[in-house]
Amino acid sequence: MASIECRDIAKRYGDVEVVRGFNLMVADNEFVVFLGPSGCGKSTILRMLAGLEEISAGELRIAGSVVNELEPGERGIAMVFQNYALYPHMTVADNIAFGLRRAKVPADEIARRMAEVCATLGLEPYLARRPAELSGGQQQRVAIARAMIKTPRVFLFDEPLSNLDAKLRNRMRVEIARLHQALRTTTVYVTHDQHEAMTLADRIVLLKEGCIEQIGSPQEIFERPRTRFVAGFIGTPAMNFLDLRVQATPPLGLELSGVAGALRLSGARFALGGREDVVLGVRPGHLKPCRDDGAACLRGTVDLVEYLGHDVLVTLDCAGTPLCAVLPVAQRPRVGDALAFAVPEEHVHLFDPASGLSLASAAQSAALPLPLPAQRLNAA
């Protein structure tokens, strides 16, 4: 087991810089997820950790020693690929043992570990088969077994569930979470699926265009997004954004208004710094229906009602701006109804229109920088 330390890591292809100044400290036993849209550089960083991609600048340490120049096989890592990357001409057993044979592990030791790993992953019936004779889920389990049997210091997962169907993906996700609970190997996991990131991660590293947007526990990222991009990327259905003008500032109380309506807040949590325009962010589930009695609220006409089971997702038209709200099925409105919503102050997010940075005051964001996953470690 080991920590991973990235210092100012960069990746350049010619003049194009795809990863810039990447700094991250992954603690021993930690499960870190790199999350971001495609092309954000998350896979490139993972491949640099693995040694499959050269590091253009910066320093990478695994378990305290610099590994920039080490071959992938010498870094004490194991990797699971998106398309499984099993050796098609070998049986499942040979696939799993291939790495240990290279490391000259004695045959009886290989057999012992093989039995152990295959029992954990339920692979015993398939050992004599070839990868092409297995289903996608089984193949991915073989790939995980191949990684596990080496007892690596670090596990690297590159979108391991993307090729599986939704049901299997959920099952494998639970299996990976269980494995990590049992093995506690330091893990870096790349995905573009926020659901995977939220459920698996001790900490999420959210990336955009080769830069870190935010690092934090899933809860921190969900509740206190540092930028408008993070707020919009995390959470389904996605957060609403409304352009509002500042009408009054504390100590009078914060008053905001726009085409969709108005809000009156205490404003204690925000540092507006004299801005006249802000972007309001509010999640669809946090909009509370209220009576439209002329007080400050958001108003709109129901445009579309989507049935989700327990809830309905209502899309409103607020004078040209769309606004989404999640309501219990019992309160299901009809298309054309006029609705009004209040926003509880604790669920209000404000962003700078130009930079997209959160306007939450320093006391709020102070909790953000690089918290270690103490709660998970203690639990173990």
Partner 1 sequence: MASHRLSARGAGRWLADATLALAAFAAIAPVVWTFVNSLKNRVDIATSVPRLVFTPTLDNYVYVLTRESARGGLVNSLVVTGASVALGALLGLPCAYALARRTGRWTHDLQFFVLSIRFMPPVAVAIPLMVIWLGLDLYDSRLSLVVTYLLLTLSSTIWLATPAFRRVPREIEEAAAIDGYGPFSTFLRIALPVAGRSLAGAVAFSFVLAWNEFLIALMLTTSDAKTLPIVASELTQLGRDVPWGILNASVILLSLPPLLMIGVLNGFLTTTVARGARRGQH
DSSP 131: G
Can you tell me which of 59, 66, 73, 319 binds partner 1, judged by CB under 8 A?
A: 73
Taking CB under 8 A as the binding criterion, the range among 24-32, 74-82, 223-231, 241-249 that sits at the site for partner 1 is 74-82
| DSSP of 170-195 | HHHHHHHHHHHHHH--EEEEEES-HH
322 binds partner 1, rule: CB under 8 A: no
Shortest distance in whole angstroms from residue 178 CB to partner 1: 23
Shortest distance in whole angstroms from residue 149 CB to partner 1: 10
Shortest distance in whole angstroms from residue 283 CB to partner 1: 38
Strands (E), 218-373: 240-248, 254-258, 261-265, 277-282, 288-289, 298-307, 311-318, 321-328, 338-342, 349-351
81 binds partner 1, rule: CB under 8 A: yes
324 binds partner 1, rule: CB under 8 A: no
Distance CA(77)–CA(186), nearest Å, equals: 10
168 binds partner 1, rule: CB under 8 A: no
Length of the chain: 380
Shortest distance in whole angstroms from residue 23 CB to partner 1: 25
Taking CB under 8 A as the binding criterion, the range among 127-135, 167-175, 224-232, 308-316 that sits at the site for partner 1 is 127-135
Count residues near partner 1 (CB under 8 A): 29
Question: Measured from the CB atom, is 138 or 227 closer to partner 1?
Answer: 138
Question: Measured from the CB atom, is 101 or 112 closer to partner 1?
Answer: 101
Distance CA(18)–CA(35), nearest Å, equals: 16
CA quadruple 58, 63, 65, 66: dihedral positive or negative?
negative
Phi, psi of 228 (to 5 degrees): -65, -35
281 binds partner 1, rule: CB under 8 A: no
14 binds partner 1, rule: CB under 8 A: no
Question: Measured from the CB atom, is 102 or 171 closer to partner 1?
Answer: 102
CA quadruple 353, 355, 361, 365: dihedral positive or negative?
positive
Distance CA(209)–CA(167), nearest Å, equals: 31
Phi, psi of 377 (to 5 degrees): -65, -45
* Other CB atoms within 10 A of residue 359 CB: 20
Token match 């490139």: residue? Answer: 44
Distance CA(117)–CA(96), nearest Å, equals: 9
Question: Measured from the CB atom, is 146 or 169 closer to partner 1?
Answer: 146
- Letter string b/e over residues 69-92, b meaning 16 or more CB atoms within 10 A of that residue's CB: eeeeeebbbbbbbbebebeeeebb
State the binding string over 33-72 for partner 1 (x if CB under 8 A, else -). Answer: -----------------xxx------------------xx
Shortest distance in whole angstroms from residue 134 CB to partner 1: 8
Taking CB under 8 A as the binding criterion, the range among 80-88, 274-282, 303-311, 336-344 that sits at the site for partner 1 is 80-88
Taking CB under 8 A as the binding criterion, the range among 17-25, 79-87, 309-317, 372-380 that sits at the site for partner 1 is 79-87
Shortest distance in whole angstroms from residue 146 CB to partner 1: 8
Question: Measured from the CB atom, is 129 or 299 closer to partner 1?
Answer: 129
165 binds partner 1, rule: CB under 8 A: no
Shortest distance in whole angstroms from residue 81 CB to partner 1: 5
Distance CA(321)–CA(289), nearest Å, equals: 18
Shortest distance in whole angstroms from residue 194 CB to partner 1: 25
Taking CB under 8 A as the binding criterion, the range among 129-137, 240-248, 282-290, 329-337 that sits at the site for partner 1 is 129-137
Shortest distance in whole angstroms from residue 207 CB to partner 1: 22
Contacts of partner 1 in 92-121 (CB under 8 A): 98-99, 102-103
The answer to whether residues 269 and 364 touch, using CB atoms and an 8 Å cutoff, is yes
The answer to whether residues 234 and 225 touch, using CB atoms and an 8 Å cutoff, is yes
AA letter at 137: G
Which residues touch 190 (CB under 8 Å, ≥6 apart)? 33, 34, 42, 43, 46, 157, 158, 159
List of residues contacting partner 1 (CB under 8 A): 50-52, 71-74, 77-79, 81-83, 85-89, 98-99, 102-103, 130, 132-135, 146, 150
